[in-house]
Amino acid sequence: MVLNRRQFLHTATASLAALIAPGVLLKARPARAAGTDPVVVALYLRGGCDALSLVVPYGDPAYYAARSTIRVTAGTQLNLDGFFGFHPSLSALLPFYQSGRLAVLHACGSPSHSRSHFDSQDFMEFAAPDDKTAQVGWLNRFLEVAGLTSSISAVTIENSAAKALVGPVETLAIPALSRMSLTGTYTNERRLALRQIFEGSAKPFVAKTGANAVDLIELIGTVNTATSVTYPGSKLGLALKDLAALIKGDVGVRVAAVNHASWDHHANQHIHFPNMAADLGNSLAAFATDLGSDLDRTVILVMSEFGRRVAQNGAIGSDHGHGGVMLALGGAVQGGQVKLAGDTWPGLAPAQLFQGIDLATTTDFRDVFAEVLDRHMGLSDASPVFPNFSVSTSNYPGLFA
Amino acid sequence: MRLRSNRTQGAGRRIGAWPLLLSGLLFLSHVACDPTIGRIQQDHVLNRMGYGPDPWSRARIQELGVNAYIEEQLHPETLDDSALEAQIAALYPVTTMPFGQSRTTFHEYTGNPEIGPGTPIRDATRAKILRAVKSKKQLEQVLVDFWFNHFNVDGLNEEARWGFLTLERDAIRPHVLGRFEDMLRATTQNPGMLDYLDNAVNFRTGYVHLGIPYGINENYAREFLELHTVGVDGGYTQEDVREAARAFTAWTITTFFQPTSTGFQYLNQGHDQGPKNVMGLALAANGGQNDGRDVVAYAAALPQTAYFLSEKLCRRFIADDPPAAVVQAAATTYLSTGGDLREVMRTILRSADFLTIADRNTRVKRPFVYAASLARAVGVADDANLAWAMSEPLQIMGEGLYRAGPPTGHPDVSAAWTGEGTVIARINLAWRAAHGEAGFGPSFQVTGTTPAEIVDQLQRQFLRNGIEPSTRAALESLVAGLPPAARVPQAAATLLASPDFLMH
């Protein structure tokens, strides 16, 4: 028996979604054909990506004054708008920017003053800066409010759910499609026994996960993982390759999370950063190419917990900073621009810095998230997703027409 | 050594609240009378303070009683692992080498896959698997893993490829039941730590080391405060991070590596000799290496550190969200004993919160715990093969040993180990275990032939803690449809992937 996604329902109990008719908060739309539902992908750069190296403000002389050896050499950046330029390792992404499908959001990040990786990651993924009691990811809250409570709606390409997806609505965690199969004798009886054991279990954590896992053995078997696009062999490349297969296969995935680790460059940044950026750029470009027409219904948001210190440290590296950068990639994105709040770059001169040391944050990451949920995912009111935050369309960075 | 029998254990315990004390006493009198509940509690204790029951530990806890077994585990020096340690030294000689020797032996790619920079992590992983599966010192093994994750370094990171090994062996293991301050001090001088968190390149501004000018690097100092001692809510500021970084300037790695070298050196010329203030600790000018030493002693003694460490330990041994009272009790012990971890552990392991069987099988086993508990349950046919074969599944399940990238180490809450992919990986490992693949050597204590008998006897062998009704029903119907030869191994494979065995 092969379960299709409509049979693949293990809806969360006692959730807000259970109290309201599913989907009522989504804007009325004409019935959609298969393969047209919008998708959002959250790609998290863990460790605090150096925003000033990823998207270089080469028009700001203070950039060069602060960074004698970790600067991107003047003239080698890939020009975006006469003031900002991509790191040279992001060359694969330049065509997407130039064709208007990739937007940059600079001086963008969290209002929290924390320079802890782990608190800052939580604050962003829970969309709750400085609230250490928050425990529900912003994308899980979206799933709940939008009534997308089938567990196939959301997946983390990892061994466990990204914090952005953690919460009352069940989501899937699949590290690799190729590993979702059973060792040993495969019989329907064996699969059904496993299914019954998990289905009938009252144990937290493992009961529903186990039942989902057994169902996925057959469901994933129906997904075509072949592609003509060559991905980098990195963990990120392989994760995005699997995610593209799920999106193209139209199994019902609407929300996805992917991690890219090791952006914490306190030393020898000039050696490590180009490799990381190349992996990011090449993997993302392969993913966008592989999605083909499905890129039109997909938005990939690239984010990190904070940017890094403007001045380089004593070891050809940089310490934890504040303001950062986000990327938004997708067919529907109004790209080809570096978007700045008020169209103003806060600047890198000492007097312009946050606490005298870091890039200021002028675009709140929640305004970016809210615009994506509203304008792309079709959520009529994004407010319930963002506790203690006033969602205002006038603060949207303008990612969509 | 203080030994108490089950019958008197209630009198000696320290419990903050009367209702707890009362329920504890009622529970314990019940345990003393009912051998079934006694065995359930024994397995619960073996699951939570070690890598699950094996024949030796079941016999030992039956012989001594729960409290005396705990007490014996708190004194691992009284337990004999010498045969195991000799076996490990013979199989994996790099695990016995000083930092300098393993670095000089293995730092070049030789073309021989057995000898190269990948050797230390490969062999240390195998050694750690064997200790988890075979050591009598089960609590010590769990604590070494706990504290390694607390002081995590990535064993694939440059000098940490050698230093992770001495971090665990020389800085952590000797102190897991000693004083926290001693462990902390040892970690501050470990080359793996110094490299991984970049203190090796933290010097006073402008200091030229090997021709390269350096300056302050905050990375280590921040994680020292946030992860190793007071915790992220411990009350420090960005300024404290900076001051702590200055205190640790010039604690670095040796430039040349003699075979006997520990890899640590302090370069006084590179130290920032100005006055400093770290979280209220004033350090006068020209403190030299005493700056860092004083910060270690100061941070280790702070109440925030006591609470932070106690909560993490209670999480590991009791619950994802441990009761406040037992955290308080552990922290009180820490502060009243100068950070004596044996006393802290005794407080935790003798608490009603730890001993209550109501909490059995409610935390998801981490992959390493799951894999080791499988081996301990079914038995091992070939130690070296098992250790070899288990390394990769641990990586697939997300807990590659010594391979956690972030300085937080591998996470320790159930949600982090709950995912569809890891369930499939566990189902597959259980199959291999029950079918004698990958070095496992299953021996099933099954004499019955009916489905009910087979399932019942396997449950008594592997899950004395009990199984859910749905597990029993599904197993019986599975067994009924199988040819006789496949019945026991398939039933065992499925039972060992059931929710009760996935949790502890």
The rounded distance, in Å, linking the Cα atoms of B264 and B194 is 9
Task: Give residue A5's pLDDT.
Answer: 38
CA pair distance A343, A357, nearest whole angstrom: 22
B186 inside domain? no
Provide φ and ψ at A260, rounded to 5°: -130, 110
Which tens digit of pLDDT belongs to each residue from B414-456? 999 999 999 999 999 999 999 999 999 999 999 999 999 999 9
Closest CA of chain B from A296, distance in Å:
29
C-beta atoms of B498 and A197 within 8 A: yes
Two tokens, residue A194? 């496993």
Average pLDDT, chain B: 92
- Report residue B277: phi and psi, to 5°: -140, 115
**Which residues of chain B lie closer than 8 angstroms to A355, CB-CB?**
238
Nearest CA in chain B to A262: B405
To which residue do tokens 């195991």 refer?
A: B84
Q: Are B216 and B198 in contact (CB under 8 A)?
A: no
Mean pLDDT rounded to a whole number for chain A: 92
Q: Write out the H or E segment, with its range, that includes residue B455.
A: helix B451-462
For residue B398, list chain A residues with Cβ-Cβ distance below 8 A. 158-160, 175
Of A129-133, A306-310, B433-437, the one with minimum mean pLDDT is: A129-133
Could you tell me if A47 lies within 8 Å of chain B, comparing CB atoms? Answer: yes
Comparing CA positions, the residue from B316, B288, B308 lying closest to residue B234 is B308
Encoding tokens for residue B386? 């098992």
Q: What local confidence, expressed as pLDDT, does residue B180 receive?
A: 98
Contacts of B82 (CB under 8 A, 6+ apart): none
* Contact of A39 with A256, CB cutoff 8 Å: yes
pLDDT over 70 (residue B15): no
Closest in A119, A192, A200 to B468, CB measured: A200
Q: How far is B504 from chain A (nearest CA, A)?
A: 11
For residue B89, pLDDT over 90 is answered with yes
Quick: pLDDT tens for A31-79: 555 678 999 999 999 999 999 999 999 999 999 999 999 999 999 999 9
The burial of B348, by beta-carbon neighbours within 10 Å (0-12 exposed, 13-18 middle, 19 or more buried), is given as: buried
Domain with B447 in it: 367-502
pLDDT, mean of residues B314-341: 97
Contact (Cβ atoms closer than 8 angstroms) between residue A157 and residue A205: no
What value does the mean pLDDT take over residues B301-320? Answer: 97
Q: Round to whole Å and give the CA distance between A245 and A240.
A: 9
Q: At what angle do helices B341-349 and B324-336 cross, to 10 degrees?
A: 150
* Domain-embedded: residue B179: no
B146-204 pLDDT tens trace: 999 999 999 988 888 999 999 999 999 999 999 999 999 999 999 999 999 999 999 99
Q: Are strands A363-364 and A102-109 parallel, antiparallel or unpaired?
A: parallel
Q: What is the DSSP track for B402-452?
A: T---STT-S--SGGGG--HHHHHHHHHHHHHHHTT-TTB---------SHH
Give the DSSP per-residue string, B205-260.
TT-EETTEE-B---HHHHHIIIIISS-TTSS--HHHHHHHHHHTTTEEE-SS--TT
Task: Confirm whether the ipTM is greater than 0.85.
Answer: yes
Q: Are residues A160 and B470, on separate chains, in Cβ contact within 8 Å?
A: no
CB contact under 8 A, B424 and A319: no
* Residue B125 within any structural domain of the chain: no
In a domain, B397, yes or no: yes
% of chain A at pLDDT higher than 70: 92
Question: Which tens digits make up the pLDDT trace of B460-488?
Answer: 999 998 899 999 999 999 999 999 999 99
- Domain annotation covers residue B64: no
A14: pLDDT confidence band, cut at 50, 70 and 90?
A: very low
**Confidence category of residue A28, pLDDT binned at 50, 70, 90:** low
- What are the structural domains, with CATH classification, of chain A? 40-176+233-395 (3.40.720.10)
Contact list, B490 vs chain A (CB under 8 Å):
185, 190
Which residue(s) pair with B504 in the sheet? none
Query: Which of A128-137, A143-152, B367-376 shows the highest mean pLDDT?
Result: B367-376
Residue B404 falls inside a structural domain = yes
With 0-12 / 13-18 / 19 or more C-beta atoms within 10 angstroms meaning exposed / middle / buried, residue A356 is exposed
d(CA B302, CA B307): 9
pLDDT: which is higher, A151 or B402: B402
Which one-letter DSSP state was computed for residue A87?
A: -
Number of domains in chain B: 1
A115/B431 touch (CB, cutoff 8 Å), yes or no: no
At residue B259 the predicted structure's pLDDT band, cuts being 50, 70 and 90, is: confident
Mean pLDDT, residues A198-224: 94
* A12 touches A18 (CB < 8 A): yes
At A26, the pLDDT band (50, 70, 90 cuts) reads low
Look at residue B431 and tell me if it is in a domain.
yes
Which residue among A116, A189, A198 places its CB closest to the CB of B478? Answer: A189
CB contact under 8 A, A176 and B421: yes
CA A12 to CA A33: how far, in whole Å?
A: 26
Q: Contacts of residue B197 in chain A, CB cutoff 8 Å?
A: 266
Residue A133 touches chain B, beta carbons under 8 Å: no
Asked if residue B318 is part of any domain, the answer here is no
Give dist(CA B409, CA A62) in Å, integer.
37
pLDDT, residue A17, reads: 38
Give B-chain residues touching A319 at CB under 8 angstroms: 217-219
